[in-house]
Amino acid sequence: MKLSALQEKLARLYLRLNGYFLSGQVVHASMHIATELDVLGVRFPFHRQPEREILSSEYLQIPADKVDVIIGEVKGRSAAVQFNAALRENKTESVEKLVNWFGMFDANDAIEVSRDLVALLKTSNTNSPENFKQLIKNEFSIRPILFAIDRPAPTKNHVKYVHGQEILDYIWKCLRPDESRIDCSVTYNYEAWGEEFADLVKYFKGKTGGVGTAGDLYEYFSVSHDKE
């Protein structure tokens, strides 16, 4: 398995366990692909799963009263923690195509939202490790979030991103509870998770010695590193 593919699956499983419906998206241009999004997640404000006996991650700062849309990009190894150029360097056309694909806004609002999103994505914006960037429009929250699997938690003057240990720890708490749950069995056929997640769930269910690190995960799957 390629390292980037495994890292994307890890981020997607993290979001799914936090109650998000998931997709990817290819943004087209006239002669080529303008950009490709690793993960798009949508979570509705009344989502709840009390039988799991675990709350959504506090780190993710999920808005309580909005339809939350996450535009996610996964960064591995030493890659710069920023969105690709097609989305952040005044590429309003690419962002507008993405907003139109979401289908949440009419033509006029989509133009306004796209412009505001481009401004939000610029690396020149003041960064903070305390809060994710967010755009609020009507009942929707749109949040561009980076997932940096191989990095520790962000520190001062960094943009807030979802770091690898946060992802691993949350997945572990969901799949390996300390005590049995009354209404939520943790014994099932791994294939119930579908082709995308079955192998990851099997890894966490079978791992000994605690949650471990991303390096443990890479070793288990014998990942091959992508070309820089």
pLDDT tens for each residue of the chain, 228 residues long: 899 999 999 999 999 999 999 987 766 554 444 567 889 999 999 999 888 889 999 999 999 999 999 999 998 877 788 888 777 665 678 888 889 989 999 999 999 999 999 888 876 655 678 899 999 999 999 999 999 999 999 987 788 999 999 999 999 999 998 888 887 877 778 888 989 999 999 999 999 999 999 999 999 999 876 654
Q: Which pLDDT does position 125 carry in this prediction?
A: 56
Q: How many residues does the chain have?
A: 228
Q: Which residues contact 106 (CB under 8 A, 6 or more apart)?
A: none
Structure tokens, 168: 């691993």
Is residue 143 packed enough to be buried (19+ CB in 10 Å), middle (13-18) or exposed (0-12)? Answer: buried
Q: Is this model's pTM higher than 0.85 or not? A: yes
Q: CA-CA distance, 117 to 95, in Å (whole number)?
A: 7
Q: Are β-strands 135-137 and 162-163 bridged in parallel, bridged antiparallel, or unpaired?
A: unpaired
SS3 call for 201: helix
Q: CA-CA distance, 210 to 195, in Å (whole number)?
A: 25
Find out whether 58 and 42 touch, Cβ atoms under 8 Å. no
